[in-house]
Amino acid sequence: MTRIDEIAPGLYRISTMLPGQAISFNQFLIDDERPALIHTGMHQLYDTVRRAIAQILDPKRLAYVVVPHFEADECGGMGRFVAEAPEAVLVCSDTGAQVNLGGWDYSGPVQGAREGDVIDLGSHRLCFLETPHVHHWDSMMIVEEATRSLFPADLFLQPGEQPPVVTENLGIEMCAVYREVGIFPARKPVLDVADRFDELDLAWVHPMHGGSLPAAVAQGYMAALRTEPFTFAGKLFGRPLPAYRAEDTVLAY
């Protein structure tokens, strides 16, 4: 159900495929002097994610738990991972710290990240990109410099159980999932991020659902985002909302 694979030096993908789910749930562990966990999985995945981490390092050593936006699959384990590790700090976007953690049932340490902020893990460095409305107000992405990796959370997902590294272009399928589930309100914030990829000089993209993509493969997914409809089309998880007509929303900006 859960597997762990080293995708790049010191960078591990912990992937869980739950029965009956259309997508996998991936967390990423960076093993370094100050280890980091990028997203935690849902509350109920805590034990399986913790066991996977323990194959590589003592979870008590986690220094950073990074939450790219506040949704259960990104943050459901945050309280317990931070509580167990005496040095751990929760890192989210500055907006996320203001609008979410300022008033939630969480009392651990928090660090809000803004565009350009950097966290040094030892031989890896996390650089933060503020990416509001991809797909939440508080969304951010993370670039790890040593492995030239982007952690885009839900952008670039692929449905189904995928191998640790995906070389197939499933961009059309990705856009179909986004339309059915209804997670992106508008095209422009997403395409603005896609337009920044060349300057980021990436080797890897590590979506939290599906497999990791070599940068050249990710180009095919970006092409699909530029040409296919993928925004909210009047449906949530495939359920049409009576107040919306798809033709009004599908090309919305």
Shortest distance (Å) from residue 134 CB to Fe ion = 10
Nearer to Fe ion (CB atom), residue 32 or residue 93:
93
Look-up of token digits 């107000």: 137
Nearer to Fe ion (CB atom), residue 144 or residue 154:
154
Nearer to Fe ion (CB atom), residue 205 or residue 208:
208
Of the candidates 77, 17, 55, the one whose C-alpha atom is nearest the C-alpha of residue 211 is 17
The amino acid that residue 145 corresponds to is E
List CB contacts of 148: < 8 A, sequence separation 6 or more. 201, 202, 203, 204, 215
Shortest distance (Å) from residue 207 CB to Fe ion = 9
* Structure tokens belonging to residue 75: 């943050």
How far separated are the first and last CA of the chain, in Å rounded? 39
Residues in the chain: 253
Shortest distance (Å) from residue 217 CB to Fe ion = 20
Nearer to Fe ion (CB atom), residue 32 or residue 231:
231
Q: Which residue is nearest to Fe ion (CB)?
A: 71
Nearer to Fe ion (CB atom), residue 32 or residue 71:
71
Nearer to Fe ion (CB atom), residue 71 or residue 138:
71
The CA angle 149-142-106, to the nearest 5 degrees, is 140
The amino acid that residue 214 corresponds to is P
Shortest distance (Å) from residue 206 CB to Fe ion = 12
Shortest distance (Å) from residue 3 CB to Fe ion = 18
CA atoms of 16 and 216, how far apart (whole Å)? 25
Shortest distance (Å) from residue 75 CB to Fe ion = 9
CA atoms of 182 and 178, how far apart (whole Å)? 6
Element (H or E) spanning 144, and its range?
strand 140-144
Residue ranges that bind Fe ion, judged by CB under 5 A: 71, 73, 154, 208
